[in-house]
Structure 1
Amino acid sequence: MARGRGRGRLSTRLMNVCLAALCRGGSLARAESVLVDAIRLGLPPDVVTYNTLLAAHCRAAGLEAGLAVIDRMREAGVDPDAVTYNSLMAGAARRGLPIHALDLFDEMLRAGIAPDSWSYNTLMHCLFRSGHPEDAYRVFADMAEKGIAPCDTTYNTLLDGLFRAGYALNAYRMFRYLQRTGLPVGIVTYNTMINGLCRSGKVGYARMVLRELGGTEHAPNVVTHTTVMKCCFRYGRFEQGLDTFLSLLDRGYISDAFPYCTVISALVKKGRMEEANTYCDLMIKNGSRLDSVCYNTLIHLRCQEGKLDDAFELVSMMEEGGLESDEYTFAILVNGLCKMGHIEAAEKQLCYMEISGMQSNVVAYNCLVAALCKSQEVDAAIRLLHCMKLKDNFTYTSLVHGLCKVGRYHMASKFLRICLHEGNDVLTSAKRAVIAGLRSSGFKNDVRKVRVALKMAKLLQP
């Protein structure tokens, strides 16, 4: 009898390994089928079985799917544990549902299940990401009161959360506190600090932490260098960013396409197309796996060079590889076509975009509105504007400028007032052009209406 029970436990363990592998591979339906077959053969599922499925369902379909697995657990007589609730709270965090995460934490306590450090870490992460830093910090204080020792992830979650909440100096002080007290400060912590300081514009602090990292036992990795590179490009330190990228290449750190795309985008913005092409070719030669962001970067590069055939060939390659064109792809293509004067082709691209189910791509529409106005086809631009579900400042600025250029100041003032009424705005140069044009044309009443609309819009600003 004992041998039979041992075989049952072993079989359940093997089944759990199989389920975990299927879930990691995205074969959730097959995993469920294996479970059904195992139960039919008399293999008893345990809490690990259901926790594996619950976590996979939460990732694939959201919190509700995970909660449905808990009901199945209870029906099978299997009690949830801390891992069960941690997975559910992680599902709530991914969907930005802090109230649900707190409710799950309370339910776990009422069920007599003691939360572990991951329970607290997950709840803190959810609260920080959802814009509740004070509540997240109270969770950290409660963790200390309960005598649960924080781990590396706890402190990294705190630091990242403080940066996201805008408390960069508080995060920096906490980092120094960790160093002084000998608490764990690993490469992830250093990367969190460098990334957070860069995002907060505190480049000097970030470089100081990077120098300190060089003097520790932790070697800077690709994440560290890529973060510094992005920061340099963002704050106009282009040559430093390029040197960082080259050091990544020299040390053999680059294993994916992201650093390449970062430097290619920066080079394109600088107009250094030949260098951008060189790194583009090197990226492809090194066999870096391209995602939609990489393809969009390459398509943008080709459009900037006026090589539209190459751009559309890249779109075909992307779609053949199983990736779909997104709103950035369409915006890049429409902009590229407009710059080359292919207005009709740009309009067809917009139609194709709508057929694909993307009808609110305001950037793509704005490119075509601007192109139509530039070619003085303002009536076509007006018709296009009326078709747009979403409009922004750039939409109206292009149209107002376009109407002023062809001397249609009365119509320009009308659209300026509509723009202000909708809560949008236009560039100061467009406002001046409208008022100056109305005055020169003798539309004094329209000048008064525009001035009133501008004052009202200023009063209503938050």
Structure 2
Amino acid sequence: MARARAQLSTRLMNVCLAALCRSGSLERAESVLIDAILLGMPPDVVTYNTLLAAHCRAAGLDAGFAVLRRMREAGVWPNAVTYNSLIVAASRVGLTMRALDLFDEMLRAGIAPDAWSYNVLMHCLFRSGHPEDAYRVFADMAEKGVTPCTTTYNTLLDGLFKAGHATNAYRMFRYLQRVGLPVGIVTYNTMINGLCRSGKVGYARMILRELGRTEHTPNAVTYTTVMKCCFRYGRFDQGLETFLSLLEGGHIPDVFPYCTVISALVKKGRVEEANAYSELMIQSGSRLDTACYNTLIHLRCQEGKLDDAFELLSMMEEGGLESDEYTFSILVNGLCKLGHIEAAEKQLCYMEMRDMESNVVAYNCLVDALCKSDQVDAAIRLLHDMKLKDDFTYTSLVHGLCRVGRYHMASKFLRICLREGNNVLASAKRAVIAGLRSAGFKNDVRKVRSALYMARLLKS
């Protein structure tokens, strides 16, 4: 009777520990464990597994091993769940060999791996770029008589896509359907996402249509994945059609699909339609996040309505959201396109006050605007102030210098760019060489050609 009460008390303690760990209150969970031991409630393997998993999530693998040592000192021996948590922690930080060692240690200890053990190890191997080893783990799973679950097949499908074997993934999916294995919404989403990432838009849309004929309901993730894929690969009408299907089916739980289609419409220059969907998004009653505001601000900048863009910025900040580097990039670009260079410079100053001085996109917009307005000296000063520079920075400056006939200076910055490991567009290189030749700077032409040759050698 006393033993039954102790077991019941331990189970209640484990429920309490699990709740505290889920809420991130690890110190309170440890305190509860100490109090329980003092009151005569013996911890069991579930107790320590709960703490081990929580410590692994919060502080990593070493924290998990610390709990494992405490577990053994208390005379409680680990099981498959213990090792699964440790393998997950190793996989999370890319320690593939450590994960394999833990799996071997589990086998040497006589602990039989379960389906989750194999799933975690396969995911780790796929993620670290070892698909062949992941297949061997799957084969070993079948050899040991461990029945694969839906997660096993989803892991395999996702891993095949990430390894570039889209055709093999598609064949496996058809095999699962033929033999009558359970194919749920997660599997369909995995297939659609993988096919989209592989550029097989037609196949993805076919799977989406098949999903519509099953008992499973396509969700926002399904439709948004296809929609983004269509836009990425230039199938704009199909992407818009997918969005309308999503809208008509009432599958829009948040504003992300709206932002995706609005951005695509803006890129196509279909601003009126983008406006219509932005109004619909606002009317939907969903709370707008920073990404949504950035989309709307970008739309207003494209229309040249800067006052509206800054009004949206005020609304966003009054609502407790902070502008980010994308917000500043959009505003600086919008100001530059309308010729408000001084206002764009003020935005950059404000951005620096917010510790966002590494925002290379915003700086590039201003460098490009200064060069296009023939203010190349101001662009050079700005470039010297930039902590980060990229190909676009130098391309804008080199083109700007060539435009005003300063070919010698352009060649100098081109060589600096190449020495820093950056590059410029081929059109900028041609402009520099042609300009140097026309100005008679033969020695500079040789220097540029030599720098270009060395850059090619270093990259090959």
TM-score for both structures, normalised by structure 1: 0.90
SS of the residue 1:166 aligns to: coil
Q: Distance in 1 between matches of 2:187 and 2:136?
A: 21
Partner of 1:88: 86
Partner of 1:443: 441
Choose 162-171 or 444-453, whichever is displaced more. Answer: 444-453
Q: Distance in 2 between matches of 1:348 and 1:425?
A: 29
Q: Distance in 2 between matches of 1:51 and 1:252?
A: 42
What displacement does 1:205 show? 2.0
Partner of 1:277: 275
Q: Distance in 2 between matches of 1:276 and 1:181?
A: 45
**Residue in structure 2 matching 1:381, options 368, 379, 382:** 379
**Residue in structure 1 matching 2:60, options 43, 57, 62:** 62
Q: Distance in 1 between matches of 2:33 and 2:280?
A: 47
What displacement does 1:120 show? 0.9
Partner of 1:404: 402
Partner of 2:143: 145
Choose 191-200 or 107-116, whichever is displaced more. Answer: 107-116
Partner of 1:300: 298
What displacement does 1:415 show? 1.1
What displacement does 1:322 show? 6.2
Task: Give the letter aligned to residue 331 of structure 1.
Answer: S
Residues 44-90 of structure 1, C-alpha deviations (whole Å, 9 max, x = no match): 33322332233233333333333333233334333222122222222
Partner of 1:103: 101
**Residue in structure 1 matching 2:361, options 359, 363, 376:** 363
Q: RMSD over aligned Cα, in angstroms?
A: 2.6
Partner of 1:8: 6
What displacement does 1:349 show? 4.0
2:266 matches 1:268: yes
SS of the residue 2:147 aligns to: coil
Distance 1:300 1:58, change over 3 A: farther
Choose 442-451 or 176-185, whichever is displaced more. Answer: 176-185
Q: Distance in 2 between matches of 1:26 and 1:321?
A: 28
2:422 matches 1:415: no
What displacement does 1:379 show? 2.4
Partner of 1:25: 23
Partner of 1:156: 154
Task: Give the letter aligned to residue 268 of structure 1.
Answer: V
**Residue in structure 2 matching 1:392, options 390, 393, 397:** 390
SS of the residue 1:150 aligns to: coil
Q: Distance in 1 between matches of 2:29 and 2:193?
A: 38
Task: Give the letter aligned to residue 281 of structure 1.
Answer: E
**Residue in structure 1 matching 2:165, options 153, 164, 167:** 167
Partner of 2:51: 53
Choose 436-445 or 347-356, whichever is displaced more. Answer: 347-356
Choose 161-170 or 280-289, whichever is displaced more. Answer: 280-289
Residues 160-211 of structure 1, C-alpha deviations (whole Å, 9 max, x = no match): 1111111111211222222233333222222211211111111222233233
TM-score for both structures, normalised by structure 2: 0.90
Q: Distance in 1 between matches of 2:345 and 2:37?
A: 57
SS of the residue 1:184 aligns to: coil
Choose 282-291 or 371-380, whichever is displaced more. Answer: 282-291
Instruction: Give runs of aligned pairs for residues 141-220 of structure 1, distance below 5 A.
Output: 141-220=139-218
Q: Distance in 2 between matches of 1:323 and 1:97?
A: 37
**Residue in structure 2 matching 1:286, options 280, 284, 290:** 284
Distance 1:26 1:152, change over 3 A: same
Distance 1:124 1:401, change over 3 A: same
SS of the residue 1:460 aligns to: helix
Distance 1:363 1:163, change over 3 A: same
Task: Give the letter aligned to residue 417 of structure 2.
Answer: C
Partner of 2:332: 334
Q: Distance in 1 between matches of 2:76 and 2:258?
A: 49
Gaps of at least 5 residues in structure 1 are none
Task: Give the letter aligned to residue 263 of structure 2.
Answer: S
SS of the residue 2:459 aligns to: coil
What displacement does 1:139 show? 1.5
Distance 1:279 1:75, change over 3 A: farther
Q: Distance in 2 between matches of 1:445 and 1:180?
A: 71
Q: How many residues align?
A: 460
Q: Distance in 1 between matches of 2:181 and 2:71?
A: 39
Distance 1:315 1:84, change over 3 A: farther
